[in-house]
Structure 1
Amino acid sequence: MHEHIAEALSVPRLVRLSENVVLIRFETMKIYSALAAVRALLDAGIVHRGQTLLDSSSGIYAVSLALACHRYGMRCHIVASTTVDATVRAQLEVLGATVEQVPPSEDLRQDQDRRVARVQELLAERPDVHWMRQYHDRIHYLGYAEVAGLVTEELAGAGLGGRPLAVVGGVGSGASTGGLAGFLRRHDDSVRLVGVQPFGSVTFGSEAHSDPEAIIAGIGSAIEFGNVRHELYDRLHWIDFTHAMAGSVRLLREHAVFAGLSTGAAHLVGGWEAERDPARVHLVIAADTGHRYVERVFARHTEALDARGLAPVEIADPAGLVMPWSAMSWDRRTWQHGALTSSGAAR
C-alpha cells in the first residue's frame, strides 16, 4: 500500500502494442523525478520542510512538483507556461501551490524567455526559496533508476528480457529519456536511445524552422537545457504538430490509449523504427495523459493524417532538416556551438 497518492500515480503500466513495440504509460512521468529530487535535497540538508520550492513548467513538471511538495510538507511556487490550462492550474492551486502564468505568446522562445525572467526576479526578491532547476540540475535524473529497474523486470517477465532494447521518447528537459537510458545502460550499453524533437527547438539544431503549434508539444526548447546530454542519443527525429497529432489519434483509435502529444510523436517514431529493426524491442514513453490536448488534438481527430502513410526524410546533419518529419543517426555525438563532434562507437 502506498503512503501517498504521488507514489501511486508515479507507477507506470507497460502495454505491448505489437511484437516489438511496448508502451510505458505514465499518469505523470515527472513525478519520479520530482519525488527523488525533493527527497535527495531534504536528505542532504539543502532544503527543509516548509520551505518554498520554485520552478518553471509547461504543465507536467508543475503537477509533479506540487505533488512532491504535498508529500514532503513543502511549499510550491510555479511560473507557468501559457500552455498550462485551467484544469491543471486549478489542480495546482488546490494542492497548495501558488501559480503565476505568463501572458500568451506567439512562439516557444517568447514563452520560455518570459518564464526564465520571472524566475530570476523571484530569486532576487525571495532568497528563502529554492529553485529546483529542472532543466539544468542532474538531480532530476535520480528518479529514473527505479523506472529502469521496473522496465527490466517487466520485460523479463514478458519473455522480452533477452532481446536488444531501444528507448523512444520526447527529449524535453533531457532528464527522462537520458535518465532512463543511462540507468538501463549500466547493465547493457547496447540500449539505444531515440529522441524526438519538435521543429523550432534549439536543443538539436532546428531553431531555424517554424512550427507555431509545437509550443504545446512540451518536447523541445528555445533555450539551452543543461540536463540534455546529447551524447546519450543514438537516433533523432524531428516531428511537426500535424504528424504528432496523427500519432496521438492513431494510438487512441488502435490501442485505446489516451495520451499526450509527445506520446503521439514517440508512437509514430517508435513504430517506424521498429519496422526497420524487428529484432529490437522498442520502449515508447507515454509521459502523460491526453486531457490537456482534448481541444487542440482529439476534438480535431477527423483532421488527423493517416499515420500509416507517413515517413521521415533521412538526413546526415541538422543543417539538412526538412519539415514535416526528418530523422538522422546521431550516434552518441555531442553538440557544441551548433556543430556535431566526432561520432561515438557504432551500436
Structure 2
Amino acid sequence: MSTTPEHTLFSSLQQLALAVIDTELAAVAALKTRIDAHFVTACQRMLACEGRVVVLGMGKSGHIGGKIAATLASTGTPAFFVHPGEASHGDLGMITSKDVVLALSNSGETEEILTILPLIRRLHVPLIAMTGNPHSTLAQQAEVHLDVSVAREACPLGLAPTASTTTALVMGDALAIALLEQRGFSAEDFARSHPGGRLGKRLLLRVQDLMHRDPHVPKVSHHVTLAQALTEMSAKGLGMTAIVDAEQHVLGVFTDGDLRRALDKPLDIHAVRVTEVMTCPCKTIAADALAVDALSVMERHKINGLLVTEPNNRLIGALNMHDLLRAGVV
C-alpha cells in the first residue's frame, strides 16, 4: 500500500514529537538520584531565610527562574526574580543580607551572573546554584549546588534549551513543594495569595459577601395573597420571595417553581394566601457559610436560590445562582 505525502508528514511529525517527550522524560527521571543532601541543604537555607528568595537567570534560564520565583511566592516562600543584567546596574540593591539567592545557569558560566557574584558574597547571603555543570564557576562558588544536567537536549541540533530547561523547572517545583509541605502551607493559604483565582473564590468568598441585603431582599408577610407575593418577586428579581412573620422569622419560601406548580390547580391568585402554596420548610444558609457551600446546597436540592438567616431563623439576606455565577464560584 502506498503512503500519501500527508501520511508521511503526519508520521514524521509524530515521531519527532514523541522523541522530544522521551528525551525530556529521561532527563526528568534522572533528577531522582539528585534529590540528595544538597537538595535538603538548599531547602534548609530557604526555610531559614528571614528575607526572600531572590532568583537570578539569563535567557531561557531567566524565563524558568521567573516561573520558579512565582511558584515559590504562591506556595508560601516569599520570592522574586531579578534580571542579572539589570542587577549590575542598580537592581542589586533589591538583595538584602537576609535573603537567599538562587542562581540558574545551564552552563554555569553566564557572564552576567558571574559579574555580580563578588557583590553577592559581600552580602554574606547563601548562594544556591542550579546548573548543568557541577565543575562550572557558578557551581564551585555556590554554597549549595543542584545538578540539573542532561544527557542531551531534545533539540536534534543539541542547541535549543529544551530538556535542560525542563529539568530546571522540575527541580524548582520540587523545591517549592518540599518547602510548602514543611511550612504547613494549606489550601486556604494558597487561596489567600490567589484571591482572584477560582480556588481563591471558592475558599474565601462567603455568603455574606454576595447576598442581597435589606431593601433588596424579597420578603412578604404570611398574611399576603399570592398576587402580592408575585408582585414582590417581580420587583426584586430573584425568582423567589421569603414569607416571614412579624419578627422576620422565615416561615417558608415561594419560588418560580412553586408558581408553576400552583398554576396547575384552579385557584384565584387574588384570594389564595401565599402560605397555602409556599414551600415549607425551606432551605436556608448562614451568612458566614462559604459561597461554595451555598452552591453545593443549591445543586444537591436542585434549587436556584437560598434565604440567608441568623441562627434563630431570622431573615437577613437572599442569594441566587446568578450571584454565584457572577462571582466566579460556579
Give the alignment's TM-score, normalised by structure 1: 0.24
Give the alignment's TM-score, normalised by structure 2: 0.25
- Higher helix proportion: 2
Structure number with greater Rg is 2
Q: Which has the higher contact order (CA 8 A, sep 6+)?
A: 1
